[in-house]
Amino acid sequence: MSEHHHKETFVTKYIFSQDHKMISKQFLVTGIFMGIIGVLMSMLFRLQIAWPEKSFTIVEAFLGSHQTDGIMDPDMYLALVTIHGTIMVFFVLTAGLSGTFSNLLIPLQIGARDMASGFLNMISYWLFFVSSVIMLVSLFVEAGPASAGWTIYPPLSALPQAIPGSGMGMTLWLVSMAIFVASSLIGSLNYIVTIINLRTKGMKMTRLPLTMWAFFITAIIGVVSFPVLLSAVLLLIFDRSFGTSFYLSDIFISGEVLHYQGGSPVLFEHLFWFLGHPEVYIVLLPALGLTSEIISTNSRKPIFGYRAMIGSIMAIAFLSTIVWGHHMFISGMNPFLGSVFTFTTLLIAIPSAVKAFNYITTLWKGNLQLNPAMLFSIGLVSTFVTGGLTGLVLGDSALDINIHDTYFVVAHFHLVMGVSAILGMFAGVYHWFPKMYGKMMNKTLGYWHFWVTIIAAYGVFFPMHFVGLAGLPRRYYTNTNFPMFDDLANINVFMTVFALIGGLGQLIFLANFFISIYRGKTATQNPWKANTLDWTTPVEHIHGNWPGKIPEVHRWAYDYSKVDENGEYVHGEDFVLQTTPLKDGETPS
Amino acid sequence: MLALFYIFIAVAIGVSFWQITRILNLREVIATDKDNDTQGKIFLVFGAALYALMIYCLIAMNVIMLPEAASIEGEHDDLLFNITFWLIGIVQFIMQFVLFFFTFKYRGKKGNKALFYADSHTLELIWTITPAVVLVGLIGYGMWQWNNMTDFSEDGAVIIEVYSKQFQWEARYAGEDNTLGLGNVNYIKGINTMGVDMSDLNSQDDKKVTEIHLPKGRKVVFKFRSQDVLHSAYMPHFRAQMNCVPGMVTEFAFTPKYTTEEMRVQEEVVAKTDGINKIRKANGEDEMYVFDYVLLCNKICGASHYNMQMKIVVEEEEAYNKWIAEQPTLASIIK
């Protein structure tokens, strides 16, 4: 890999590239594209929630045969909710976030010339691309796309008689997800192998930046849990197409008894949530990793409690694989299991609290450089706390009973994993844009983008908790059939207005992103004065990352503002690159 | 309202494009002292605004929330919820304040030196152990209450089967013998819509009804079945919910505490009802809302998921007995 002068054509450079930096950009741009679609869908269904069964030209324009006179059909409402969830969780926040930054940063921050297998890395992207295309194609199927909710619980997802979206749309959904899982597994294996084997000289595990730790652990959870989703999907495909009864039993629909005997939907729920819950952390941990780095750099301070942070990442990862049952307190599983899952679930609050406290202590007595990336990181801490705290309510089986599947849940997970992860992703884009494109993004637009986004996020999701506490179930096409919810109409309008503002506000980001690629100011090598190895590579991308030898590492990544006994910076500046050798008499931190 | 909104969006888009082209000509890319100062202050203002939003929601939205639990088991649910909510509320207010205040207070300036402070085991121990201790309390109370509410023993209880299908609820009472007859989808035929096995002796005195009546103060054990897809029987006023799963029977139980009539004059309910009726009047609705207990579907089940409901009436024992006696037995209607 060290020979970086073999001939490149347009195809090998931009399309079937095996260079991790190009692949990361491919993931990012695909993720952004899917994100636009996901957000547009949410804006459409928010219109229906706020102004039920009112005619909208925009609905008429977008939904074709799935609307009547600009009013969306109930089936289509469910389809939009389903595909919005699927796209945002898997295509944007898993592939778009992890795929982008694991690929970009792992080789750069551990000091490797590329991923362990550039070829598999390329395959991983192209499988993701194919699965995205299939998911998008499913939107144009005549009976509509999958519409059983992103959790696709059978029997609803297994029987086209139950909902039209469970026909061809569901088949494509399942095929798309199976390919997606393959992509994700190949990617994760590559990340794990690379981090274990390709660290440069001196880069001990205890000197890895927290981003690396987060990506490493995330990849491990992915490898542990994604195959279970694949098996759930495969069994569902069997039930749908080959007449097996893994999940189905005793069903009477459209006037006839179906042949299924002995299966149980609860089995599917177990399999699904065995991925589904770790998935939350697959989404969140990379975002936390990115912000750990950004907060430390921009505070000009070491991250507080480096080892505690690693410990809490590991604890969260471990616990995340034994809490899936808290999605199933009311599924009909044995109540005793409810107690067990309540116990493990609430334990997660401890490492999560440690992380939040450590972030805040990192800010304390810092010299905060409030760059856009830093704003987004602080925003992440804020929404992570707000959303995380309500987890104490939902994780408690006794309380979950009454708010399960209400808007309280929607508010909780949107804040804690949706908004937080997307803020982390934006932070990462603003911070590492110079590494990706050799250009800087516009600062002022970055500020505007942040403030619009965070205000909209709170405007939508904070009042939503109370709508849930009023007892309103999620995934209702309209609540006008229940007069007891009539007093929620104004709040629904309020939330929709903020959702539309937030959605449109992302145009600022898109403009900034794409224009900066071409017109942005040329970046310097280390614009944020950071310590990690990625900032020692040249601005212009080269194959193999470093010209000449790979640098050697002599210290951890967080020697910011390190002073000697006279209060002077040890190395003359408030940052010390990991490649700087220890001075005589300097104690390693 | 809507037209105004469209105009607002159009203006916003126009202004943003104009601003974006203007801003893109600015070439500064890294935060200066001035930016740090401005953004730090904005964070403080944002923190205040967030506080205002939170306080407003907590106070003004009280009236729209569910009234106090209408079941005896639900009392501890409400108490546990209040304890948890106060706790997370306090933590939320403190954490957000500290976060935004630090951002403001330590906003960067050239020449300022950050404090090299990498670790403190004491601090870390404090904020590992404090949440752990608090959680032990919450988990303990939560588990005790969970045990309490998942006691489905049937001595002297009213036994009711709640049967779900796209997009309708049905219900069956266990009758004189207080034992439900067996049921399976294979028996569904004509008027026997719940698939009750009429060869089972226990089925003969079962009673199929179109709305659920419950006696105040007696425990009710619900048995849930589903005919097609997953549904979820959600009775928010009683703090009760359980999925209906095809192929299995699930259970839930509670003891109603207030009759429908008592609930209608309860303070919180009156306030909520008044609010709703004010809105209904403004919308030109003729029919005014009166409080009723309701059973909703809370698991996505198809196109009309949003319209799957059944009325529940809680009444005094005598009234209930009178009502149940009037319901025909299955044997008398299914020949």
Name which of A443, A448, A464 to mutate to probe chain B: the one with the most chain B Cβ atoms within 10 A of its Cβ.
A443
Which residue bears the tokens 């600022």? A508
Q: Which of B12, B98, B294 sits opposite A484 (nearest CB)?
A: B294
Q: Which domains does chain B have, with CATH numbers?
A: 34-108+121-150 (no CATH), 158-333 (2.60.40.420)
Q: Which of A257, A304, A347 sits opposite B185 (nearest CB)?
A: A257
Mean pLDDT value across chain B: 92
CB A212 within 8 A of CB A105: yes
How big, in percent rounded to 5, are the helix, strand and coil portions of chain B? 50, 20, 35
pLDDT in tens, B105-124: 999 998 888 999 888 899 98
- Quote the CA–CA distance of A126 and A15 in Å, as a whole number: 9
Per-residue pLDDT at B27: 67
Instruction: Identify all chain A residues contacting B301, using CB atoms and an 8 Å cutoff.
Output: 156, 162
Which residue bears the tokens 């159009």? B10
Q: Which amino acid is at A28?
A: L
Residue A428 lies in a domain: yes
Residue A548 lies in a domain: no
Residue A579 lies in a domain: no
Per-residue pLDDT at A61: 85
Nearest CA among B304, B301, B278 for reference residue B227: B301
CB distance B119–A306 less than 8 Å? yes
pLDDT in tens, A434-474: 999 999 999 999 999 999 999 999 999 999 999 999 999 99
CB distance A398–B76 less than 8 Å? yes
Residue A422 lies in a domain: yes
Per-residue pLDDT at B2: 67
pLDDT at B3 over 70: yes
Structure tokens belonging to residue A241: 């197409």
Per-residue pLDDT at A307: 94
Name which of B139, B187, B188, B309 to mutate to probe chain A: the one with the most chain A Cβ atoms within 10 A of its Cβ.
B139
pLDDT in tens, B79-104: 999 999 999 999 999 999 999 999 99
Q: Which amino acid is at B84?
A: T
Instruction: Identify all chain A residues contacting B85, using CB atoms and an 8 Å cutoff.
Output: 393
Distance of residue B201 Cα from the nearest chain A Cα, in angstroms: 22
CB pairs under 8 A between A and B: 400
Q: Which of A149, A465, A488 sits opposite B300 (nearest CB)?
A: A149
Per-residue pLDDT at A14: 80
User: Helices (DSSP H) in A158-305: which residue ranges?
Assistant: 168-197, 210-242, 265-299
CB distance B230–A155 less than 8 Å? yes
Instruction: Identify all chain A residues contacting B147, using CB atoms and an 8 Å cutoff.
Output: 335, 339
Q: Given pLDDT bands bounded at 50, 70 and 90, which one contains residue B7?
A: confident
Instruction: Identify all chain A residues contacting B236, using CB atoms and an 8 Å cutoff.
Output: 402, 471
Structure tokens belonging to residue A537: 């590579």
For A471, which DSSP code?
T
Residue A560 lies in a domain: no
CB neighbour burial string for A533-564, b if at least 16 within 10 angstroms, e if fewer = bbbbbeeebebbbbeeebbebbbbbbbbbbee
- Quote the CA–CA distance of B95 and B127 in Å, as a whole number: 13
Q: Which of A266, A381, A406 sits opposite B245 (nearest CB)?
A: A266
Q: Which of B80, B85, B232 sits opposite A330 (nearest CB)?
A: B232
- Dihedral through CA A321, CA A326, CA A332, CA A338, nearest 10? 90
Give one DSSP letter per residue of A1-68, joined into a string.
-----S---HIIIIIS---HHHHHHHHHHHHHHHHHHHHHHHHHHHHHHHSTT---HHHHHHHGGGEE
Q: Which of B77, B98, B298 sits opposite A399 (nearest CB)?
A: B77
Which residue bears the tokens 């059909």? A73
CB neighbour burial string for A472-488, b if at least 16 within 10 angstroms, e if fewer = bbbbbbbbeebbbbbbb
What is the extent of the structural domain holding A165? 10-536
H or E segment at B295?
A: strand B293-297
CB A380 within 8 A of CB A425: no
Q: In what order do the strands lie in the sheet with B168-173?
A: B207-209, B168-173, B158-165, B220-226, B250-254
Q: Given pLDDT bands bounded at 50, 70 and 90, which one contains residue B16?
A: confident
Distance of residue B65 Cα from the nearest chain A Cα, in angstroms: 4
Instruction: Identify all chain B residues contacting A49, using CB atoms and an 8 Å cutoff.
Output: none
Structure tokens belonging to residue A228: 């279970």
Contacts of B35 (CB under 8 A, 6+ apart): A370, A371, A443, A447
pLDDT at B153 over 60: yes
CATH number at residue A336: 1.20.210.10
Residue A573 lies in a domain: no
pLDDT along chain A (589 residues), means of 10: 60 85 95 96 94 88 87 94 96 95 95 94 96 96 93 94 94 96 96 96 94 96 94 95 94 93 94 94 96 96 94 95 94 91 92 94 95 97 96 93 95 95 97 95 94 96 95 94 92 95 94 92 93 93 90 94 89 92 84
Complex confidence, ipTM? 0.93
Instruction: Identify all chain A residues contacting B293, using CB atoms and an 8 Å cutoff.
Output: none
CB distance A560–B114 less than 8 Å? yes
For B183, which DSSP code?
B
Q: Which of B57, B74, B109 sits opposite A462 (nearest CB)?
A: B57
Residue A549 lies in a domain: no
> Domain count of chain A?
1
Q: Is the dihedral of CA A373, A374, A379, A380 positive or negative?
A: positive
**Residue B240, beta-bridge partner list:** B235
Which residue bears the tokens 């202050």? B41
CB distance B85–A393 less than 8 Å? yes
Name which of B102, B289, B310 to mutate to probe chain A: the one with the most chain A Cβ atoms within 10 A of its Cβ.
B102
CB A446 within 8 A of CB B35: no
Per-residue pLDDT at A19: 92
Q: Which amino acid is at A394?
A: L
CB distance B64–A353 less than 8 Å? no
- Quote the CA–CA distance of B42 and A370 in Å, as a whole number: 11
Residue A586 lies in a domain: no
pLDDT at B323 over 50: yes
CB A570 within 8 A of CB A562: yes
H or E segment at A478?
A: none
CB distance A392–B87 less than 8 Å? yes
Q: Is A500 helix (H, G, I), strand (E, B) or coil?
A: helix
Per-residue pLDDT at B334: 82
CB distance B26–A487 less than 8 Å? no
Per-residue pLDDT at A566: 87
Per-residue pLDDT at A356: 94
Nearest CA among A544, A546, A571 for reference residue A559: A571
